[in-house]
Amino acid sequence: MEKQKFVLLGLSGGVDSAVAALLLKKQGYHVIGAFIKSFSETKNKLTNECNWVEEKRMAQKMAAHLQIPFIVLDFEKAYTSQVIKPMIKAYKEGITPNPDIACNTLIKFPLLWKAARKLKADYIATGHYARIKKTKNTFELHQGRDKSKDQSYFLCELSRRDLSHTLFPVGNHLKSQVKQIAKKNNFPNYDKPSTKGICFVGNIPLKSFLEKRLRKKSGVVLNDRGQIIGKHDGAHYYTLGERVRPTIGINIIKGVSSQKRFYIAKKDMEKNTITVVPENHLLLKHSAFNLKKVHWINSKDKKIKLRAKVRVRHLGKLMPSVLKIKRGRLQFTLGEPASGIAPGQSAVFYQGTRIVCGGEISL
């Protein structure tokens, strides 16, 4: 008789990981639920209780409902040093990083696997909407079946080794199906809203999070002719392509603001100025970019010239592109100019539903 396989599952308190646990149990796995504590500063404004405590309570309740063992893993020290501090440093330098990708690559998957090995588990699992396909010689990362919930973008830096011992049980399901399964099985969290915001930090506006760590530095807002048309709270808070709104600390002079929507086209960190332009302005469009820190999931995909579709934000449009070495740098060129592309963000390349590679954008 084949030995029962053990899985250490990241049990967040959300419906996706809870359904993932149920699906694994039905497939014959012995499942251990692991709640990951990585950030303890965010609090519920109504109860003043730390968000992670609320999430842990729900995860524990789900483990009891599913009748699976439950443990808590404290990764906060590593998360602070490897994700939060580099993120703050990047914003200070005027770069917009992607902490969710760093969180998966540096914290969630390697440390969950380390804990799994200590428990002699065979696999780790999460509630991500992505799929892993095993071929004759390797493992491939693919988009989730539900294209509106696909999370493969955030997993672009996982390695073949990571994929070889990882399971994504909900990857072949639609979100609507996951909710139906949860409701049918009387899950106490079946109607719980999806988590938003920074990985492990929770649903907190990014600027509010940054303001606690980076001081405000009032500066002026310029139009494309260099004329002052407003004020802002500090160039380090903002991202190229971001829409200008008073709620993010950018105020445009009355009369000018009523004419059109503005978006951030340039940032001068030394002068602490930002330049804003109307939607579809040429300054917002880019067609060629450098790429650094490129990660290839399978080394066989490395080519002098790669044709693939690229996504420059989570669930953003998949755009035809060519990736090649030019003047000693890895550069990708789009079929047509696109807006909303910022240094520090990730460009992820797909061939069909399969992720080929991902890297950090450098303009």
- Digit-coded pLDDT (tens) for 19-29: 999 999 999 99
Band (47; pLDDT cuts 50, 70, 90): very low
| Amino acid making up residue 103 | C
Strand 354-362 with 286-296, pairing: antiparallel
The conformation of residue 4, written as its DSSP 8-state character, comes to P
CA 175, CA 193: separation in Å to the nearest integer? 12
Band (328; pLDDT cuts 50, 70, 90): confident
Pick the catalytic residue from 50, 156, 199, 357. 199
Q: Is 319 left (phi over 0), alpha (psi -120 to 50) or beta?
A: beta
Tell me, yes or no, if 156 is annotated catalytic: no
pLDDT tens column, 132-176: 999 988 999 999 999 999 999 999 999 999 999 999 999 999 999
For the segment 61-65, the average pLDDT, to the nearest whole number, is 95
Residue 37 contacts residue 79 (beta carbons within 8 Å):
no
Q: Residue 21 burial (CB < 10 Å; 0-12/13-18/19+)?
A: buried
CA 255, CA 252: separation in Å to the nearest integer? 9
pLDDT tens column, 228-282: 999 999 999 999 999 998 889 999 987 765 567 899 999 999 999 999 999 889 9
Is the pLDDT assigned to residue 45 strictly greater than 70? no
Is the pLDDT assigned to residue 43 strictly greater than 70? no
The conformation of residue 244, written as its DSSP 8-state character, comes to P
Query: Which of 145, 127, 40 lies closest to 84, judged by CA?
Result: 40
Residue length of the chain: 363
**What domains sit in the chain, N to C, each tagged with a CATH number?**
6-206 (3.40.50.620), 216-282 (2.30.30.280), 285-362 (2.40.30.10)
| pTM score of the predicted model | 0.91
Query: Which of 318, 304, 303 lies closest to 349, judged by CA?
Result: 318
Q: Note the Cα 117 to chain centre separation in Å.
A: 26
pLDDT of residue 46: 45
The conformation of residue 250, written as its DSSP 8-state character, comes to E
Tell me, yes or no, if 199 is annotated catalytic: yes
Residue 221 contacts residue 238 (beta carbons within 8 Å):
no
